[in-house]
Amino acid sequence: MRRHVVWKAAALMAALTLSGCATYSPLPLGSGKGANSVAKLSASTAEMPTPALASHRFDPSNGLDATEVAILAVANSPELKVRRDALGIAQAQAFAAGLLPDPQLSITGDIPRSYNGGLTKAYSLGLSQDLSTLLTRSSRQAAARNQVKQVNLDLLWAEWQTVAQARLLFDQVLTLRQEQTRLKTERAALGRVEKYVRTALRAGNLTYEMASAGLNAGADVRKRLASNALALHQAQASLRNLLGLAATVPLQLAGAPYRPQPTRAQVQEALADLPKRRPDLLALQAGYRSQEAKVRAAILAQFPALNIGFNTARDTGGVITNGFSLGITLPLFDRNRGNIAIERATRQQLRDIYQARVLTTRSDMQRIVSDLATLDRQATALGAHVRELNAARGAAEHAWHARLLDWPTYLAIRSNALAADLDLLTIRQEQATQSIALQALLGNTDLATSRSSSAKASTP
């Protein structure tokens, strides 16, 4: 009767164990084609990482402005999706760190080969538990919780960087389209000069040496147009990829570029409490706390491992016994000293990484502030120069058509005006790049902006 009770108890425990097991379900790979239209992209502003994005009215029907591009990038960036998967892994690891180890059940049986002398079947039933893991459980849980915080903050920082990248690509595409329009206008204007030069060349009024300047001017513009087209293709492809769009989807961009202008007061305020707001610095702090917990766990793990168990048995003579077992690891050689040294060295490395990141960030912010001041002065001076050259170009064009100006002088004036126009676009692009980078370094992506408009105006 007792034997049946033992086997029924073992069967019941096996059934309870199997009832909590996970089941397998396949997860097929996707096609990786991307969305074939902007309308098929989803974006919930309530889940945006900054108040400015969360409060923006999302309406892509009349083109995407700089903020809507940032919203779609955060919601659909393939890289951010991978980072969110990493957060899920960290959360699963934190869950695993809090689980207690399963007890070990052992069952053995002995069957006599003869039954002479009243022998009977023997069995042994034991249940044991490793208690050493309980000693480090709280430290492991603390390490895992801080690891989740670190991954979550790293994700937030990646979202902020994606917002900055989306705004930069938006500005790059607009700038390259403006350059393209300007170069096409120049190509059309130079086409009339080239026609005049070729006519004079065929008539023998010009030598090839004299005509080379007129022919080369048009060739140079066409070369610039080709280079501009390649750069525009790359910028648009990068923006489509960031938004999760297929390669053939047209990009209808609207509104003005995003041009933040943090004041010196905002910069100084951000520098004062930088480690309290920047997600990447907060993530490093969480990672350091996680490593502190790992050091504590490694130190606690040097104590002897303890395994305790209880058993009941019956021998072939029918004698039933109850007993217990106790296993202790003797800390004579290892004592977990290797792991303790590794965890301490890792902690020191994380501490130095944090110090280096803060120092580099402060230095970069000061440098960008100085660069922006220089770029502002340069843009102001060049803007005045551009207006003068544009006026000169207009006057020269009128004089050339009236045959009051020779074509080499006309081409020289046009060339200078074109170079100044393109230089001004380049400087404005660099201003946008530096100011967006500064805003990201400040740890605040919602600073007030200037030279930007919330109203949409479709761009070519």
User: How confident is the model over 156-209, as pLDDT tens digits?
Assistant: 999 999 999 999 999 999 999 999 999 999 999 988 888 888 888 888 777 777
Instruction: Say which residue the tokens 């502030």 belong to.
Output: 369
Q: Exposed, middle or buried, 439 (CB in 10 Å: 0-12/13-18/19+)?
A: buried
Work out the number of other CB atoms within 10 angstroms of the CB of residue 263: 10
Q: 257 or 31: whose pLDDT is higher?
A: 257
Report the predicted TM-score, pTM, of the whole model to 2 decimal places.
0.80
314: β partners: 123, 320
Instruction: Please determine, for residue 136, whether its predicted confidence score (pLDDT) is greater than 80.
Output: yes
CATH number of 68-99+136-245+260-301+337-447: 1.20.1600.10
Pick the closest to residue 186 from 224, 212, 231, 213 (CA basis).
Answer: 224
Instruction: Please determine, for residue 459, whether its predicted confidence score (pLDDT) is greater than 60.
Output: no
pLDDT averaged over every residue in the chain = 84
Instruction: Please determine, for residue 230, whether its predicted confidence score (pLDDT) is greater than 90.
Output: yes
Q: 75 or 204: whose pLDDT is higher?
A: 75
pLDDT computed for residue 444 by the predictor: 59
pLDDT computed for residue 10 by the predictor: 57
Q: What percent of the chain has pLDDT over 90?
A: 35
Cβ atoms of 225 and 180 closer than 8 Å: yes
Q: What is the DSSP string of 156-167?
A: HHHHHHHHHHHH
460 pLDDT band (50/70/90 cuts)? very low
pLDDT computed for residue 17 by the predictor: 59
356 pLDDT band (50/70/90 cuts)? very high
Pair of tokens at residue 255: 């509104």
| Mean pLDDT value across residues 230-259 | 90
pLDDT computed for residue 8 by the predictor: 60
User: In what helix (H) or strand (E) does residue 179 lie, and over which residues does it extend?
Assistant: helix 132-202
H-assigned helices in 310-406: 337-401
Strands 104-110 and 306-314: unpaired
Cβ atoms of 311 and 127 closer than 8 Å: yes
Backbone phi, then psi, for 435, in 5-degree steps?
-70, -40
Q: Exposed, middle or buried, 39 (CB in 10 Å: 0-12/13-18/19+)?
A: exposed
Strand order across the beta sheet in which 320-328 lies: 104-110, 122-130, 306-314, 320-328
Query: Considering only 100-104, 144-148, 221-225, 379-383, which range has the smallest mean pLDDT?
Result: 100-104
Pick the closest to residue 171 from 59, 259, 261 (CA basis).
Answer: 259
CA distance 366 to 261: 14
pLDDT computed for residue 389 by the predictor: 95
pLDDT digits (tens, 9 = 90+) for 286-309: 999 999 999 998 998 888 888 888
Cβ atoms of 426 and 450 closer than 8 Å: no
